[in-house]
Chain A
Amino acid sequence: MTRHIIRRLLQAIPTLIGVTLLSYMIMSFAPGGPLSFLGIANPQETSAETVAALEVKFGLSDPWYIQYGRWLVGTDILFQLPQDETAVEEAAPTTNASSARTSNSIQGCSVLATQRQGILRGDFGCSFKWRRPVIDLIAERLPATMELGVATLFVALFLGVPIGLLAAISRGSIFDNFTRIFAVVGNAVPAFWMGLMLLLIFAFTLDILPSGGRCERMRVRLEDGSSGGCADVVPIYNRLEYLILPVFVLSLGGIAGYSRYMRTSMLDTINSDYVRTARAKGLSARSVWLNHAARNALIPLATFLGPALVGVIGGAAITETIFSWPGLGRLIVEAVTNRDYPVIMASVIISALLTVVAYIISDILYALFDPRIRF
């Protein structure tokens, strides 16, 4: 078992390297080249000498794999930069307005900083738009997305699994057919439209649920007198009304998926020999289904958890935007809109990291639950 876990962890390494490479490629896609990526200058408006000086300064004239290495591990370990502090100051007057704003950094976070810690040490650089370390922005947004994700997974499992079990037990019944139709329709409705319709009905027409946000209507006063950040203060059971609509929209696909999956899995189990034996021994149908069959039918569900979390994180981009949920998904939509590349790259890497971890956990759970699995 330990060997399996170690092997799974090792297998994750090439995947994560691939993700960082892919994310690094995004930078080279940035219109205007790497300099505009750095938020320094529009190369067309800057003199050739300045561009050349800046390229040396930031090491942009080095081969891409050295630049990639710097981005990964920082500028102080393997790939040191030429120590020339004058180039940027000389370039500053000729650069455009965005760079002037850039150099006035807040909280010691500057896009122009040449010394980097590298992303492996959590230095994802500085957000162009917010002028703050990217890692702080993400740390701020992640809890909201996790809250949404966990709630969604919870609802999807606790509704989807029983529905699937019941549908399998009463195969061919009205309930079975109804859930089948529900599952197909649930997968066909665009999530964003479902969200809009729910908002139209419950927030605008009936006005019984908030139209978005995480707890904005609550007007929380913090100890230092400022408002906001209410989600950290107000416990989740007081904010449930804010969760209802987004969680419903996000979990719809999960409910549909789990119930179908559970139904198939349960039908497989019901038709297996040991269930027939238990019935033949004279145990009641109910006891056999719940104590023998359902328990085993649940096992394959563990493999579903990883992909489910990915679905929630990815799907949250749209749902969070509709419901103004201050999470990672909305952050990346805003970052893409603003072409805030450091934020984009960091969000991609961190969401991929979460995904990989979720897959590993669901693999391990599967092995734990099912003693037949030997590695």
Chain B
Amino acid sequence: MASNATIAKLEMDELDQHVKSRSHWQRAMHQLSHDYLTILALGVVILLTVLAIFAPQISNYVTGYRFDQENLSQTFSPPSYEHPLGTDEQGRDHLTRLIWGGQVSLGIAFFASILSLTIGVSFGLVTGYYGGIVDDVMMWFITTLNSIPGLFLLLIISSVLGPSPVNLILVLGFLGWTGTMRLVRGETFTLREREFIVAARAMGASDFRIMASHILPNIISIVIITLAIDIGVLILVESGLSFLGFGIPAFIPSWGNMLTNAQAYFQRAPHLVIMPGVLITVTVLCLYVIGDGLRDAFDPTVND
């Protein structure tokens, strides 16, 4: 039972906040700065990103191997001083390849999700704002696309285009936007009827202006949350495709295609199977946690 004094204090706090009147972003940042789990996850992702960006320097000065430097006299060697994580079936340094693999996996997921977000947000805004026939055609297209198992389409199209990092970014980007589009469409749908939009229209704002400077700022927090989770999902998808041999060509290491021949390693070097998967899991987990943390921070109405 809360005493009167506590209630009074709570009311004072409320008043206090009212006077300061934080903006939406300030409140979100304040909330985030107290969310230690999200900060930890953010730290891990930043660390991995830095490692990925500086992969060439690291492999030159720290590990001392190139990612394609073979040494056929030292295949499947267990972890040792020269090779902290051992070597693979062609005697290549596993640690170096993991760092380079991070560059490929993170880079592809990042650029592909930027692409898919751009498409998803634009289409979502347009269909949600105009509705009618535009919406009907778009929804038909999306229902069609979604009724084919996504992995099948990814497999087919990336095999037709041939494996390359750029193709993979395009394929993942152009096939992955439907979820975002539905989300943005729904939000736009409800925002479109709000007074401030009607007011903007009454003042003669063009459709583009309404979408870009009135609706978009109101959904940008959803977009940021989706970005974090999307990157995570795309890392999983990319690794799955590369594992099957349809994503990244075999000579470029990615966390997925380093596992392509994993079943052949079971006997001789189980350690080769463990690390790429652990890295994928940790990265995706951190991105999900960041997405959750951002949602808590930006969307105070959602409480589990």
Contact yes or no, B270 A200, CB < 8 A: yes
Q: Contacting B281 at CB < 8 Å: which of A188, A267, A333?
A: A188
Contact yes or no, A359 B147, CB < 8 A: yes
Verify if A355 is at the interface (C-beta below 8 Å from B).
yes
| Chain A residue at minimal CB-CB distance from B243 | A192
Q: Contacting A190 at CB < 8 Å: which of B141, B148, B236?
A: B236
A 226-264 binary contact with B (CB < 8 Å = 1; else 0): 000000000000000000000000000000000000001
Contact yes or no, A19 B144, CB < 8 A: yes
Asked, given contacts A190-B236, A321-B244, whether A356 binds B285 with beta carbons under 8 Å apart, the answer is no
Residues of chain B with a CB closer than 8 A to A333's CB: 155, 244
Contact yes or no, B149 A317, CB < 8 A: yes
Q: Contacting B151 at CB < 8 Å: which of A26, A267, A314?
A: A314
Contact yes or no, B151 A190, CB < 8 A: no
Contact yes or no, B152 A314, CB < 8 A: yes
Contact yes or no, B285 A190, CB < 8 A: no
Tell me the residues in window 260-279 of chain B with beta carbons closer than 8 Å to chain A beta carbons: 262-263, 266-267, 270, 273-274, 276-277
Contact yes or no, B281 A348, CB < 8 A: no
**B141, B156, B289 — which one has the most chain A CB atoms within 10 A of its CB?**
B156
Contact yes or no, A314 B149, CB < 8 A: yes
Contact yes or no, B159 A19, CB < 8 A: no
A338 to B277, CA, bound (A): 28
Tell me the residues in window 120-171 of chain B with beta carbons closer than 8 Å to chain A beta carbons: 140-141, 143-153, 155-157, 159-160
Chain A min CB distance to B286 (Å): 9
Asked, given contacts A22-B144, A188-B232, A188-B281, whether A30 binds B160 with beta carbons under 8 Å apart, the answer is yes
Contact yes or no, B273 A196, CB < 8 A: yes
Verify if B211 is at the interface (C-beta below 8 Å from A).
no
Contact yes or no, B277 A317, CB < 8 A: no
Verify if B240 is at the interface (C-beta below 8 Å from A).
yes
A265 to B145, CA, bound (A): 29
Verify if B67 is at the interface (C-beta below 8 Å from A).
no
Asked, given contacts A197-B277, A318-B240, whether A310 binds B263 with beta carbons under 8 Å apart, the answer is no
**A30, A192, A204, A267 — which one has the most chain B CB atoms within 10 A of its CB?**
A192
Chain B min CB distance to A301 (Å): 19
A104 to B285, CA, bound (A): 53
Contact yes or no, A351 B149, CB < 8 A: yes
| Chain A residue at minimal CB-CB distance from B151 | A314
Contact yes or no, A352 B148, CB < 8 A: yes
Verify if A362 is at the interface (C-beta below 8 Å from B).
no
Residues of chain B with a CB closer than 8 A to A352's CB: 147-148
Q: Contacting A317 at CB < 8 Å: which of B144, B152, B263?
A: B152
A337 to B156, CA, bound (A): 9
Verify if A156 is at the interface (C-beta below 8 Å from B).
no
Verify if A93 is at the interface (C-beta below 8 Å from B).
no
| Chain A residue at minimal CB-CB distance from B159 | A336
Q: Contacting B147 at CB < 8 Å: which of A15, A30, A185, A339?
A: A15
B 237-273 binary contact with A (CB < 8 Å = 1; else 0): 0011001111000000000100100110011001001
Chain A min CB distance to B52 (Å): 18
Residues of chain B with a CB closer than 8 A to A111's CB: none
Residues of chain A with a CB closer than 8 A to B259's CB: 192-193, 196
Verify if B231 is at the interface (C-beta below 8 Å from A).
no
Residues of chain A with a CB closer than 8 A to B276's CB: 193
Verify if B280 is at the interface (C-beta below 8 Å from A).
yes
Verify if B76 is at the interface (C-beta below 8 Å from A).
no
Contact yes or no, B262 A196, CB < 8 A: yes
Verify if B95 is at the interface (C-beta below 8 Å from A).
no
A 176-195 binary contact with B (CB < 8 Å = 1; else 0): 00000000110111111110
Chain A min CB distance to B19 (Å): 34
User: Known pairs A193-B280, A351-B148, A351-B152. 9 more at Cβ < 8 A?
Assistant: A15-B147, A26-B156, A185-B281, A190-B280, A196-B262, A196-B277, A321-B244, A348-B152, A348-B156
* Residue positions of A touching B, CB distance < 8 A: 14-15, 18-19, 22, 26, 29-31, 184-185, 187-194, 196-197, 199-200, 204, 264, 267, 310, 313-315, 317-318, 321-322, 332-333, 336-337, 339, 344, 347-348, 351-352, 355-356, 359
The 22 sampled A-B contact pairs (Cβ below 8 Å) are A15-B143, A15-B144, A26-B160, A29-B160, A184-B285, A185-B281, A187-B288, A188-B236, A190-B240, A194-B277, A199-B266, A200-B270, A204-B267, A314-B150, A317-B151, A318-B243, A321-B244, A332-B152, A337-B159, A344-B156, A352-B147, A355-B148
The 7 nearest A-B residue pairs measured at CB: A314-B149, A18-B144, A193-B277, A188-B285, A188-B284, A314-B151, A355-B147
